[in-house]
Amino acid sequence: MTAAPAAGRAPFGARLAAAMDDHGPLCVGIDPHAGLLDAWGLTDDAAGLREFGLRVVEAVGGRVAAVKPQAAFFERHGSRGVAALEEVVAAATAAGTLVVMDAKRGDIGSTMSAYAEAFLRDGSPLAADALTVSPYLGFGSLDPAVELARATGRGLFVLCLTSNPEGHEVQHARTLDAGATVAARMAAHAAALNADAETLGSIGLVVGATIGDAAARTGTDLAAVNGPLLAPGVGAQGAGARELAEVFGTARRQVLASSSRGVLRAGPDVAALRSAARTASDEAAAALRG
Ligand SMILES: O=C(O)c1cc(=O)[nH]c(=O)n1[C@@H]1O[C@H](COP(=O)(O)O)[C@@H](O)[C@H]1O
């Protein structure tokens, strides 16, 4: 059984739905690639990461539905990089913007509970509003994260149909027991966890905006998930408004479109970043809300 969300914090799905209503369906990825740091005149070290992340938050905090720091770029610089990540998360939270931590964690259940504590526990320095997780040790291995997310009003985005061209090898495969595709199984698990949610459930999926008709081909019922669909691939990976509308069909109101480099390349000027995010958000809204 799951506990009620922590006092004072509504479930993640409801908070995300409200944020998308207020600001549009865009998540801005905070991915401080070495090349972007250089282009922004920043050093490729913890100080550069910190400045980059805080600059993005200054530009879009309180103006977009969510930001998604990519943990890998911060981990490149060890404990000092992780300290910079903590500051960026705190700044986004202070700006009233939801934070999706993109760390794609997944492990056996007993270790998964430690990952959950790191990213989803009240008081943890790295706690975010939601965490990306990998279900490829079996969806049930994520149970500790599901439980802690629900207990604290946080959420998960479970990898389902990823934006990269290699994903089909695993995600389109059919299971021996039920004969369904792996992606369809993952979506069915999320749907079961969101069954009682009124607005939007808190257990979302990652479904790339670049996947074409893969949801239909794999028998993955996205609308039935009743939870948010994080859609990376917008911008630098080639997806735009047309792809968003085509990929998500009747599930499009659940979509949180995500763009990192597509927005970040407009930096380092804060006004230019803000304007690039506004344009991306408006385009996503037109594609998904029309
Ligand atoms: O979970 C993710 O966010 C994710 C899943 C996926 O299927 N594809 C994908 O690109 N991502 C992440 O989304 C971001 C995409 O960055 P851009 O291609 O620069 O917009 C990166 O941080 C990826 O790690």
Cα 198 from Cα 116, distance rounded (Å) = 25
The pLDDT of residue 177 is: 85
H or E segment and range at residue 124: none
| Average pLDDT of span 99-111 | 98
Model confidence at 8, in pLDDT bands (50, 70, 90)?
confident
Is residue 6 predicted with pLDDT exceeding 60? no
Would residue 68 show up in a list of annotated catalytic residues for this protein?
no
Question: Which CATH number does 12-281 carry?
Answer: 3.20.20.70
Work out whether the CA dihedral 162, 165, 170, 175 comes out positive or negative.
positive
Mean pLDDT of the chain: 96
**Is 204 in contact with 142 (CB distance < 8 Å)?**
no
Whether the upstream peptide bond of residue 165 has omega within 30° of 0, thus cis, is: no
Under the banding of pLDDT at 50, 70 and 90, the label for residue 1 is: very low
Domain boundaries, the chain: 12-281
| Cβ atoms within 10 Å, residue 30 | 29
Q: What's the token pair of residue 21?
A: 């209503």
Cα torsion through 118, 44, 32, 84, rounded to 10: 30
Length of the chain: 290
The one-character DSSP state at 87 is H
| Ligand 1 within 6 A of CB of 181 | no
pTM for the predicted model, two decimal places: 0.97
Q: How far apart are CA 48 and CA 36, in angstroms?
A: 10
Please write the tens of the pLDDT for every residue from 123-150: 999 999 999 999 999 999 999 999 999 9
Catalytic member of 9, 33, 104, 172: 104
From 68, 70, 99, 166, mutation site for ligand 1 pocket: most ligand atoms within 8 A of C-beta: 70
How far, in Å, from the CA of 3 to the mean position of ligand 1?
A: 31
State if residue 240 touches ligand 1 by the CB under 6 angstroms criterion: no
Is the pLDDT assigned to residue 118 strictly greater than 60? yes
